[in-house]
Amino acid sequence: MGQATTRTAAPAGAALAGHVTTLAEQTFTVADQLRRLTEDLFAGGVPHSADLAVLRPQVVAALGGLITGAGVITTPLADDRSGLEWWMDSRPEGRTRLELDLDPASDTFVDVSRQAWFAVPRTTGRRHVTGPYVDYVCAEQYTLTFTVPLTVRGAFAGIAGADVFVGDLERALRPALRAVGASVALVNTQGRVIAGNTAHHITGSLVREPHIRAALQEATTQTLADGASVIPCGTLPLAVLTWP
């Protein structure tokens, strides 16, 4: 029975991984569009922080569907201030601009450089998915943040990105989760659960089996000795796990 369940779950698990990959790539497309617009803004020289307001129509237009937040955050600009143009589709308030104090001399300074969604693209030069984490700054909900590095004349200049509420993503994935026919969870590479189809794997919980967590680091499709399967979501730091 266990082997039959594993064989049945494998195609559906792969389909779920493909669905997740498609949704994530669509979100990264939005982040890349904002990245290009921001890098073009630097073409005439380093802008002032207030100049990022020119991006506002495109940032606001990016909101909708699964995307509940989007924008850019830069390193210090010509006026020695970090640039921030990030908007949220807050419910029920509607679309609002994120206000953060990015002045290091201020008592209410928010050091975004310590956040993974900023620090990882800065360190690696690559895009990143942060989460699931509770975003206490914006919405106090479990969130995934998709970010890409801004690069100006070969140097890191900040990030462009988009937020997705995990609850919204889970609802979008629900038919695919149910179709697996076995216990399944979407996790990040640390084994943190984003969404699942059983009470054993709820959002924010941690997959603790050492052999599964080790397999997640290998980023390859595997069927483990206990029948569990690991199916990476493309090149993303996400994977689908199934259990017999």
Flag whether pLDDT at 123 surpasses 50: yes
This prediction's pTM: 0.92
- For the chain, the domains span 2-19+180-243, 23-166
- Mean pLDDT score across all residues of the chain: 92
- Taking only the tens place, the pLDDT of each residue in 196-241 is 999 999 999 999 999 999 999 998 999 999 999 999 999 999 999 9
Residue 113 CB-half CA count within 13 A: 13
23-166 CATH fold: Beta-Lactamase (3.30.450)
- Flag the least confident range among 102-106, 182-186, 218-222: 102-106
- Left, alpha or beta for 240 (phi > 0: left; psi -120 to 50: alpha)? beta
What pLDDT, on a 0 to 100 scale, did the predictor assign at position 1? 38
Q: What radius of gyration, in Å, describes the C-alpha atoms of the chain?
A: 19
* Overall average pLDDT of the 18-35 stretch: 98
* Overall average pLDDT of the 187-201 stretch: 96
Q: What is the DSSP-derived secondary structure letter of residue 239? A: E
Distance CA 140, CA 137 (A): 7
Angle between helices 166-179 and 2-41 (to 10 degrees): 150
Domains 2-19+180-243 and 23-166 share a fold: yes
Residue 232's DSSP bridge partners are: 239
- Tell me the residue ranges of DSSP E strands in 47-182: 67-76, 82-90, 94-97, 128-134, 142-152, 155-165
- Taking only the tens place, the pLDDT of each residue in 160-177 is 999 999 999 999 999 999
Type of residue found at 40: D
| CATH architecture classification, 2-19+180-243 | 2-Layer Sandwich (3.30)
